[in-house]
Chains A and B, each alone.
Chain A
Amino acid sequence: MSMPADAPARDATEVTTMTYRQAVLAALDDEFAADPTVLMMGEDIANSGGVFKTNEGLVERYGPERVRNTPICENTFIGLALGMAVTGMRPIVEVMFSDFLPTAADAIVNELPKFRFMSGGQCAAPVTVRSIGGATGRFGTQHSATGESWYLQLPGLRIAAAATPQSAYGLLRAAIRDDNPSLVIEHKGLYARKGEVVRGDAGIAEIGRAEILRPGSDLTVAATLLMADRALAAAEQLAEEGLEIEVIDLRWLRPFDIETCAESVGRTGKLVVAEEQYHHGGWGASLISQLTMQGTRWQAPPRAVSLPPEMLIPYSPPLEDTIVPSTELIASTIREAARTSGGAG
C-alpha cells in the first residue's frame, strides 16, 4: 500500500462552487491523498462511485485495497474498522442509510466510544462512520431517518451533521483527522445542493464549533442538515417582512456548541429549533433545557419544528412532504414566535 505518485497536494486553499456530493468526494479525496493509512469500507462503495455517487473515482485512484466493498454486515465492518484503527489505520466506513446504524448498535454504542476508555487510554480509535440519512427522497419508513440524535448519550463519540457543501467538506475532513471515533451524518436530500467550498486545510472545520449561517437580531433558529437549509430559506423570506432571523447550523451534536447558541439567544431572547427528528429525546429538547438551566431570559417560549410526535415517515409523496417540516412551516413558526412577546420567565 503506497501513496499514488500523482497524489495532488491539497494544502493550498482554493474556493470553488461545488455540490454537497462533490464536497464529500473532495473531502475523501483530500484525506486519501494526505494520509496513506486512510481507507474506506462499506456496501457497494467502490462500485460505480457508491450508491449516492459520493465516491466517484476513489477506487480507480487509490485502489481496491483502500476502497473496499464489504458484505452486508454493519456491526462487523464497523468492529473491523475499530480493530484497524487501534492498530495504525484510519478507517472510514460508509453506512448507506442511517436506518442501518442500529444494526451496528453494539459497535457504535459499546465499542467505538468506550474502547479507549476501558483500556485506560492505551489506544486511540480514529474511526469515521459516514452515515447517509434524511427524508424527502421517497425512500419510505426504513430508509429515511437522519439518526442524528440516536447516539447522543455516548461520551467518546463525536457526532457531526452536514448542512452545507462547506460543512460536508470540512466536517468530514475534521472527523477523519481526529483521533476519536466520529459519526458524520450526510443528508441525501442535500447532495445536489450547490455552494462555495473552501477546499484545502483552511476548509477543515473546527471540532465542536457551530456556524452562524445568517446573522439576525429578532430570533434564533438552531438547526441541522436539511432543516438548516430550509431555515435559511425561511429566514430570507421573513427578511422581506422585516424580521431579522439568526440561523445557526449546529454542525456538531457532540461536542455541542452551547456557547454560540447561548450568545445568540442572549441577544434575541427567542429560539426555534428546527429538526428532522422527534423533539422528545433529541438535541432540540436538550438545547432548550440547557439554555433554560443557564438562566436564559426567554422573551417568548422556545418552540420546536420537528416530526409529528406519534407519526412515522410514510412513503406516499404528498404525505412525506406533510410530515417533514417544510420551509413554510418553519417560517410560520418563526413568525409566530417572533411576534410573541413576554417569555416563560
Chain B
Amino acid sequence: MAACTTLDAMTIGRAEENAQEFADVVQSHRPQIFRFLLASTRDIDLAETLTQECFLKAYRNWSSFRGESSAMTWLMRIAINLQKDHWRNRRMQFWRLTRTNAVDLDEASEWLPSGESSQEHRLLARERVQQVWRAVDGLSERQRTVFLLRYVEELELAQIAETTGLSEGTVKAHLSRALSRVRTELGGRR
C-alpha cells in the first residue's frame, strides 16, 4: 500500500514536471510558430488556429519527444505538417476556398518596423516588402516554406533540412529558386 502511494506520488510529480516543461516550451516558442504560420498563410485566424493545433498535438506527443532535435525544430515540423494537411483538405473541399480570410499583399506590406527615418524611406521599404510578398506568393508551397524558414525565421540550412525532412542540397536548390524569383520581382519593378 505504501509502495503504491509512493509510485502514485512519483507519477504525479513527473506529470507536473512535464507540464511545467511543456508550458515553458509554449511560452518560448509560440510567437515564432505563430509568425511562421502567419507568413505562410497570410491569414490571422488560420495562423492562430494552426498554432493552437500545433501545440495541442505537441502536448499529446510530448512524452514521446526524446530531444533528438531541438524543441523548436520538432514544433516547426508539426506546424509544417499541419499546414500541409490544411491545404490538402482545402484543395479537396473546393467550397472552403470561398471562406478564405487571407490578408491581401498590400495590407501585409503595410507593416514596417518603426525605425525607418523618413516618409520616403518608408515608402521605398513598403514597395520592397510588397515586391517580396508578390514573389513569395508565386512560390510553390515547399519553396515558400524553405524561404520563410531561412529569411524570416533565420534558421540555418541544416536546421531547415531537419525541419522539412529534405536534404541540404534540396533546401539550397529551393532557396536559390526562391531568391531568383525575388530578384526578378525586384528587378522588374525597379
A binds B: no
